[in-house]
């Protein structure tokens, strides 16, 4: 086997994002000969958090692993169910007794894959240091497999790029999530770690980072609090990357951005998501 092809999908924003995946993900997987698919699900239920129903809906679309971020605990009804969600990963540098796991191991074509989720600190919150957190567990993970994938859910581009450089040659790939805007800086670093600052999103095209644009514009104009919601939308954008990784060394061979747009016949309504 020359390489494994891995599809990494940006933050899924509510029902428009899920509707796109339901209709088009399989075609994208076949077109790019994908062996393993990862998505970020922390906005997948109504734009905030994930529910049990949505989790299993996504797994039914041949998604192999689900990362998350700062909204992972927004739906309180799932807090006691994280042990059942064997493909869901929450940020590793949350407090250690929080529900869920920050590292999950998977297997595809007899190759073990480690998926790690981290959350940033710049403009985000008082979490443990993601750099030191990775340093503390890296030897253990490397003893299990050289194929290590890191979703860094962070706001600042500098923090995301710095972590990529810090982990160059130690993991297979580091990609950013959270800002919902795909960046054009995909590259393979000198020691063969693939990197991109942000994957982007799967959500309403006519929006502000997947949320209703009118509400957000009003908030900027008035500085008054407003409830964000996922807008009704016919047009959906899909952002992802494809990674090609050597299965024995864990070194990245290729990284490429994927961006698609699709227009549904009727608006996708997330009001009862």
Q: What is the pLDDT of residues 18-28, one digit of tens each?
A: 999 999 999 99
pLDDT at 137 > cutoff 90: yes
Give the chain's end-to-end CA distance (angstroms, integer).
Answer: 41
> Coil, strand or helix: which one is 157?
helix
Band of residue 269 on the pLDDT scale cut at 50, 70, 90? confident
CATH class of domain segment(s) 4-265? alpha beta
Give me the pLDDT at residue 215, please: 92
Give me the pLDDT at residue 270, please: 74
Give me the pLDDT at residue 226, please: 85
pLDDT at 76 > cutoff 90: yes
Cβ-Cβ contacts under 8 Å for 101 (sequence gap 6 or more): 82, 89, 90
Q: What is the pLDDT of residues 218-257, one digit of tens each?
A: 999 999 988 889 999 999 999 999 999 999 999 999 999 9
How far, CA to CA in Å, does 99 sit from each of 64, 77, 95? Answer: 20, 12, 9
Minimal CA–CA distance to 130: which of 87, 166, 99, 104? 166
Sheet holding 103-108, edge to edge: 103-108, 111-119, 148-153, 173-177, 194-196, 187-188
Q: Give me the active site residues, please.
A: 71
Mean pLDDT, range 92-98, rounded to an integer: 95
Q: What is the pLDDT of residues 109-123, one digit of tens each?
A: 999 999 999 999 999
Across-strand partners of 168? 171
Q: What is the pLDDT of residues 153-210, one digit of tens each?
A: 999 999 999 999 999 999 999 999 999 999 999 999 999 999 999 999 999 999 999 9
- The DSSP code sequence of 69-111 is -TTTT-SGGGGGGGGG-TTB---TTS-TTSSS-SEEEEEETTE
pLDDT at 272 > cutoff 80: no
From CA 238, how far away is CA 258, in angstroms rounded? 8
Domain ranges of the chain: 4-265
């Amino acid at each position: 086997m020359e390489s494994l092809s891995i599809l990494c999908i940006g933050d899924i924003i509510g029902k428009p994002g899920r509707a796109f995946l339901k209709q088009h993900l399989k075609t994208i997987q076949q077109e790019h000969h994908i062996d393993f698919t990862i998505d970020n699900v922390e906005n997948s239920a109504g734009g905030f958090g994930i529910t049990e129903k949505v989790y299993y809906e996504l797994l039914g679309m041949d998604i192999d692993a689900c990362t998350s971020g700062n909204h992972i605990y927004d739906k309180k009804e799932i807090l006691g169910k994280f042990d059942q969600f064997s493909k869901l990963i929450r940020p590793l540098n949350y407090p250690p007794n929080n529900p869920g796991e920050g590292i999950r191991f998977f297997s595809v074509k007899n190759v073990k894959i480690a998926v790690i989720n981290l959350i940033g600190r710049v403009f985000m919150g008082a979490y443990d240091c993601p750099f030191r957190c990775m340093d503390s567990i890296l030897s253990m993970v490397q003893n299990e497999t050289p194929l290590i994938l890191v979703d860094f859910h962070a706001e600042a581009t500098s923090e995301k790029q710095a972590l990529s450089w810090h982990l160059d040659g130690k993991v297979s790939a580091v990609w950013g999530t959270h800002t919902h805007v795909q960046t054009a800086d995909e590259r393979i670093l000198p020691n063969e770690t693939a990197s991109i600052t942000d994957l982007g999103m799967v959500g309403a095209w006519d929006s502000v980072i997947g949320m209703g644009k009118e509400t957000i514009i009003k908030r900027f104009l008035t500085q008054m609090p407003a409830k964000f919601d996922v807008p009704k939308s016919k047009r959906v954008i899909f952002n992802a990357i494809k990674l090609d990784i050597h299965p024995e060394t864990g070194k990245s061979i290729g990284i490429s951005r994927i961006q698609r747009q699709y227009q549904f016949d009727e608006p996708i309504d997330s009001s009862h998501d």
